[in-house]
Homo-oligomer: A and B are copies of this chain.
Amino acid sequence: MDLELIGSLAIAGTTKIVLLSSDGLGGFPHPDTGRSELETARLPHLDALARRAVCGLIRHVGPGITPGSGPGHLGLFGYDPIRFQVGRGVLEALGIEFDLRPGDVAARGNFCTVDAEGRITDRRAGRIPTSRCVELVDRLRAIRLPGVEAFVEPVKEHRFVLVLRGAGLSGRLSETDPQAIGQRPLPVRALEPDAERTAGLVNDFVAGARRLLADAAPANMVLLRGFDQLPALPRFPEVYGLRAAAIAAYPMYRGLARLVGMDVLKTGGTFSEEVATLATHWDAYDFFFLHYKDTDKAGEDGDFAAKVAALERLDAELPGILARRPDVLVVTGDHATPAVLAAHSWHPVPVLLAGRYATADAVERFSERGCAAGSLGTLPAHHLMPLVMANALRFTKFGA
């Protein structure tokens, strides 16, 4: 079922949809208690919602595949993340809200440490502080390349973004990062004939960086990877016929929403402020993508108790969302981030879909095991949007 078919079924309506993505929502049982973060938290509003919603589990990429935040959210937006792949350079540029334009080539950059023979001794330059990253990025801005503009932007610690802008560039380039200690950075190679010129320009940039950073140890060299251009993604508002807005405090998620053509609303840094933004703009949109980051952050930190607390804070905000009386409300996440793994994981993620035409099933608790008994079963994340559209009575029938 591809987006062209989906789009052909979309019809106009007046219903309102909220897609709440709690980042890294899914968890894993704590070894001491046998209960996951969701099973440990007190979630009266989410549980009540699960009891009147249709529930299940979603898998964003495939069984056993751990999604990054990019593929995880593209799946929630209805895009098959295997078909629509977005390069790391592009995601990194989106993550700092760089105004990436069609044709630009973006790469993820690392400052690294090389020895006197040019061999890598630390791929992350001892994780230099962000302030030092900012200084060194400023040095790199002196590099001039013939016929193109080069943008160098700091991200965090040893990470930066390189963007080349100009006509006829290609992102089909090999990486300079050998992903191993003791080796020299690799020259960039063109992976298609049209990328020869771009490869030459990037190699010139790297040569320039080597010269300018010679005295900057431990950050005395750069590594570049994940070269890519903005993908040509079908535009979400056009596919679904929805005036769509994103409310997200973190730049990466705003960037992803912009990538698929959603309006990105100005909001504050807390989830309460996001919910207030929802209220303010309620009348102007049909679809709201609402992003909650704290669950992922606590999971990544391996802090089980903090993740439980983050879930309870999310639960407490639910009445503010329900007060808008959305016709369809989905609560789910872009991937699991179990505190016991302190990382994203492959485990399927609970989902609930509440709406007038969504049958309540036997699910009593909004949790991994609770939702496993839901009548949605385990479904690919990109099958969720068609269900949302149907429940919002915004799909016509297929065939006569």
Contacts and interface: CB of A to CB of B under 8 A. Distances in A.
A65 interface: yes
How many copies make up the complex? 2
B377 A369 contact: no
A29 interface: yes
B69 A386 contact: no
A346 B400 contact: no
Chain A interface, DSSP helix/strand/loop, else mixed: loop
Nearest to A396: B66
A82 interface: yes
Interface in A309-349: 338, 340-341, 343-348
A85 B388 CA distance: 24
A67 B397 contact: yes
A67 B398 contact: yes
Interface stretch (A161-169, A216-224, A291-299, A356-364): A356-364
Contacts of A341: 357
A369 B359 contact: yes
B1 A65 contact: yes
A81 B386 contact: no
Given A82-B1, A359-B347, A375-B57, A67 B28 contact: no
A390 B65 contact: yes
Interface string A60-92: 011111111111100000000110011010011
Contacts of A57: 375
B398 A71 contact: yes
A372 B377 CA distance: 9
A315 to B, nearest CB: 22
Interface in A187-212: none
A248 B240 CA distance: 37
A341 B355 CA distance: 14
Contacts of A360: 29, 34
A390 B63 CA distance: 9
Interface of A: 1, 5, 9, 28-29, 34, 36, 57, 61-72, 81-82, 85-86, 88, 91-92, 108, 226, 338, 340-341, 343-348, 357, 359-362, 368-369, 372-373, 375-379, 383-391, 395-400
